[in-house]
Structures are given as C-alpha cells and as structure tokens.
C-alpha cells in the first residue's frame, strides 16, 4: 500500500528533527530545550511548543515505535478521511495531549511543589524556577494514541496481531486495553517513569471528541460496529 502524503511527510519531518537533534547535540545545543513542551509557568515556555514538541523524541526506540504506529494506522486513516482531515486530527490530538500534560503538571505543582523554593532532583538541589524548566515533554505519542483510538472506533472489528499475544485481537479491545493500561500506569506512577501517561490519554480523549463532532456533522457515520 502506497503511503499517503500527510503520513509520509509526518514520518519524514520527525526523522529529520531526530537526526537534527543528534547533530545539534554535538555542537552543545539541546533542541528539546527549545522545541520541547515546557510547563506553562516556566520561563522557557512558548505556546508554539504545543506543536513543536510533537517532532522531538528521546531516543531511537521512542521515534521508531511512534513512527511505526503512524505508518501502520495513520495511512489507513488518511485514506479514509483524506489528507486535510487526517492532519487536523493528528494535530488536535497532539496539542490536546500537550494541554493535558500541562494540566497534570499544574496539579502536581499546586499540590506538591508550590510551597517549596528548591527541589532535590537526586543529583543536586536546584531552585524552583530551574526545576520548572526541567518539566519538559517531547514526542508524538499523544497524537499516536489518538490515531490508535480512531482506528479502533472506525475499524472496531479489524483483527490485529500484537506481539507477544498468541492470537489476534479486535482493534476495539486493543484500544480499550491500552487505555486501561495507561490510566493504571498514570495513577500508579508515584515514583515517576518519565512517561507522560496522562498525555497519551489526553490524545485519545481529544480524538474521541473530534470524531464524535465530525459524526454529529455527518462525516462518516459508522462507529463502534
């Protein structure tokens, strides 16, 4: 199956940014400090980061699995919706995931951090202003989770082979199971695993709202068959 335009360009742009960040690192420049999504109360925050953070990744495995999912499921959605609607969906889910992460970080700040002027990060004690700038989110995972959600809604009975499961699983059960795992991981993440679980869920939630909005407007009526 030929990869449609938007899906192909999303993958290409992410790869270019990934290798660009490697080259920049050799010159002492960390691109994620500028393009990653900072906490909105941090001095380094810029609203455009709600878009640019989608193109930054933390390692080969991070970008590989995200772009693999975009290739596997995104191309099908783009052919179903068309390039314009798919691009809108991708960006809405990605930005929605970023906004969700901002909310989660604010709750953490309001409940745990606001009474402190310094934070022990394990290797040093840093001022709160510096710590807030460390609260940076990168990666297209929120948009990818939106894509998985959309695939499960539009093609609910499509069977997927998921390693290491011995039998295929219907897309709707795969998406529901993944969402439950992310919710549990987010709630149980007391010590921190550097994964923005609630951002993933945020991408799915924004995806649901956008799909239901399109459904209400009469665009592709068949969901949850």
The CA-atom distances, in angstroms, between 84 and each of 73, 87, 88, 90 are 16, 5, 6, 10
Q: Which of 22-36, 62-76, 110-124 is predicted with the least confidence, judged by mean pLDDT? A: 110-124
Give the separation between CA 78 and CA 93, rounded to whole angstroms.
Answer: 15
pTM: 0.91
- Judged against a pLDDT cut of 60, whether residue 7 lies above it is answered with yes
Q: Note the pLDDT tens digit of each residue in 60-101.
A: 999 999 999 999 999 999 999 999 999 999 999 999 999 999
Give strand pairing partners of 159: 170
Q: What's the mean pLDDT in 112-122?
A: 90
Q: How many residues does the chain have?
A: 225
| Mean pLDDT, residues 21-44 | 96
pLDDT at 223: 41
Is there a contact between 104 and 199 (Cβ–Cβ < 8 Å)?
yes
Please state, for a pLDDT cut of 90, what percent of the chain lies above it. 78
Tell me: the pLDDT tens digits for 123-151? 899 999 999 999 999 999 999 999 999 99
| Residue 37 pLDDT | 98
Assigned token pair, 99:
């906004």
- Rounded alpha-carbon distances, angstroms, from residue 106 to 22, 112, 205: 31, 10, 19
Confidence of residue 218 (pLDDT cuts 50, 70, 90): confident
Domain boundaries, the chain: 5-216
Task: Cite the DSSP H helix spans in the chain.
Answer: 5-26, 32-35, 49-52, 60-69, 75-81, 83-108, 128-134, 141-154, 171-188, 197-216
pLDDT at 224: 38
Dihedral of the alpha carbons of 154, 148, 73, 137, in degrees to the nearest 10 = 150
d(C-alpha 79, C-alpha 127), whole Å? 50
108 pLDDT higher than 50: yes
Per residue in 188-207, pLDDT (tens digit) is: 864 467 889 999 999 999 99
Say if strands 159-160 and 125-127 run parallel, antiparallel, or are unpaired.
unpaired
Give the class (CATH, top level) of 5-216: mainly alpha
């Amino acid at each position: 199956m030929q990869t449609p335009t938007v899906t192909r360009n999303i993958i290409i742009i992410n790869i270019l940014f990934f290798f660009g960040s490697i080259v920049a690192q050799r010159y002492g420049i960390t691109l994620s400090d500028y393009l990653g999504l900072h906490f909105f109360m941090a001095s380094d925050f810029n609203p455009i980061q709600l878009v640019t953070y989608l193109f930054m990744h933390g390692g080969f495995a991070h970008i590989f699995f995200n772009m693999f999912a975009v290739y596997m499921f995104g191309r099908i959605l783009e052919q179903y919706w068309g390039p314009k609607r798919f691009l809108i969906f991708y960006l809405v889910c990605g930005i929605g995931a970023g906004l969700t992460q901002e909310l989660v970080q604010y709750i953490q700040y309001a409940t745990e951090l606001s009474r402190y002027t310094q934070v022990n990060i394990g290797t040093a004690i840093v001022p709160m202003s510096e710590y807030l700038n460390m609260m940076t989110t990168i990666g297209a995972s929120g948009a990818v989770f939106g894509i998985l959600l959309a695939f499960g809604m539009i093609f609910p009975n499509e069977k997927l082979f998921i390693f290491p499961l011995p039998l295929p699983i219907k897309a709707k059960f795969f998406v529901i199971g993944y969402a439950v795992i992310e919710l549990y991981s987010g709630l149980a993440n007391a010590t921190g695993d550097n994964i923005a679980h609630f951002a993933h869920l945020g991408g799915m939630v924004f995806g649901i709202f956008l799909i239901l909005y399109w459904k209400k407007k009469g665009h592709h009526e068949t969901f949850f068959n």
